[in-house]
Amino acid sequence: LSLFGLHGSRPLAEQVAARLEIALAAHEERDFEDGEHKARPLQDVRGHDAFVLHTLHGGEGDSANDRLCRLLFFCGALRDAGAARVTAVAPYLCYARKDRRTKTNDPVTTRYVAAMFEAVGIGQVITLEVHNLAAFENAFRCPSLHVPAAPLFAAHFAPLLRRVPAVVVSPDTGGAKRAEQVREALESLRGAPVSAAFMEKHRSGGVVTGTLFAGDVRGRVAIIVDDLISTGGTLLRAARACREAGAAEIHAAAAHGLFTGGAEDLFAAGLFESIVVSSTVPPFRLAGAARARLTVL
């Protein structure tokens, strides 16, 4: 087995290697002045089960497209160098939200990403908490391993909620299954009932609508669960609805903290007791008070 960590994902890859008690495999990446690059393994991979970790968010001096391209080319190079199987480990998988046509002639980008994985000979994909599991499994026809974030969040919140009534809230109906996984895991860990609530949300042309709120949050600790935080708008809407409906305390848990423009408002709003994300995306866009208030599991 060899595990490679591409530039920009090295710290995460090193953590994974340490857990596995192995050293990261050696490779080189060179950038050229025309914007192209070259990456190759610096060790023999013939017959190896090779894993390449690269988290596919953009913004840290590069873009999601750059990262995707580097992952594809390096995996292709490993196959050409004789690796028996190449697994792409993308803790955050870009374009997972563009999994269907919402307008005439829309691209189904998730499928195109999957087709490019197939084209370079990637034999397996591992990712964490994708936007829509069914769409992901439909698009990626090679074997895939989807790691849910629910056990991580349940283990984090269970000790904090031993005696208080709690409710897990989905900020949209599309995320109801994800929230249900967290609710079940939390209920079983704390050995006491946890209820469910969800909010209506429709997005069209960048405009978000829907005000229906179902479920009882009054006097309870509410944990709003989502796959990712981008602008933070989705969590803010849900938190305001929870506050209006009488929640005693509000927490947010999202697998991927992208924190694009405006996400500081989440921290400044004074609505959240805590905001928790996993380590799939480093919180490089947050600074100062916002960064200090974020919990990265």
- Read off the tokens for 5: 């960590």
Q: Which one of 131, 183, 220, 251 is in contact with ligand R5P (CB under 6 A)? A: 131
* Residue 202, strand partner residues: 209
Residue 38 annotated to the active site: no
With contacts defined by CB under 6 A, name the span among 22-30, 56-64, 80-88, 166-174 that binds ligand R5P: 166-174
Check binding of 148 to ligand R5P (CB under 6 A).
Answer: no
Q: Which is nearer to ligand R5P, 64 or 189 (CB)?
A: 64
Nearest Cα to 157, choosing from 274, 53, 266?
A: 274
Check binding of 99 to ligand R5P (CB under 6 A).
Answer: no
Check binding of 233 to ligand R5P (CB under 6 A).
Answer: yes
Q: Which one of 99, 129, 227, 249 is in contact with ligand R5P (CB under 6 A)? A: 227
Whole-angstrom distance, CA of residue 296 vs CA of residue 75 = 29
User: Residue 68 corresponds to which amino acid?
Assistant: L
Q: Which is nearer to ligand R5P, 181 or 234 (CB)?
A: 234
With contacts defined by CB under 6 A, name the span among 99-107, 160-168, 229-237, 239-247 that binds ligand R5P: 229-237
Check binding of 226 to ligand R5P (CB under 6 A).
Answer: yes
Check binding of 285 to ligand R5P (CB under 6 A).
Answer: no
Cβ of residue 161: shortest distance to ligand R5P, in angstroms? Answer: 23
Whole-angstrom distance, CA of residue 227 vs CA of residue 32 = 35
Check binding of 230 to ligand R5P (CB under 6 A).
Answer: yes
Please say whether the beta carbons of 120 and 88 come within 8 A: no
Cβ of residue 167: shortest distance to ligand R5P, in angstroms? Answer: 18
Residues 182, 178, 269, 55, CA torsion sign:
positive
Q: Which is nearer to ligand R5P, 53 or 242 (CB)?
A: 242
Check binding of 58 to ligand R5P (CB under 6 A).
Answer: no
Please say whether the beta carbons of 294 and 278 come within 8 A: no
Cα separation values, 244 from 68, 118, 194, 239, Å: 42, 48, 20, 9
> Maximum CA pair distance of the chain?
61
What is the Cα gyration radius of the chain? 20
Check binding of 91 to ligand R5P (CB under 6 A).
Answer: no
Cβ of residue 59: shortest distance to ligand R5P, in angstroms? Answer: 14
With contacts defined by CB under 6 A, name the span among 64-72, 74-82, 171-179, 268-276 that binds ligand R5P: 171-179
Q: What is the DSSP annotation of 164-230?
A: S-EEEEESSGGGHHHHHHHHHHHHHHHTS-EEEEEE--EEETTEEE---EES--TTSEEEEEEEEES
Check binding of 109 to ligand R5P (CB under 6 A).
Answer: no
Q: Which one of 17, 50, 229, 294 is in contact with ligand R5P (CB under 6 A)? A: 229
Please say whether the beta carbons of 64 and 94 come within 8 A: yes
With contacts defined by CB under 6 A, name the span among 102-110, 172-180, 211-219, 284-292 that binds ligand R5P: 172-180
Length of the chain: 297
Interface contacts to ligand R5P, rule CB under 6 A: 97, 131, 171-172, 174-175, 226-234
Query: Would you please indicate which residues are annotated as catalytic (active-site) residues?
Result: 201
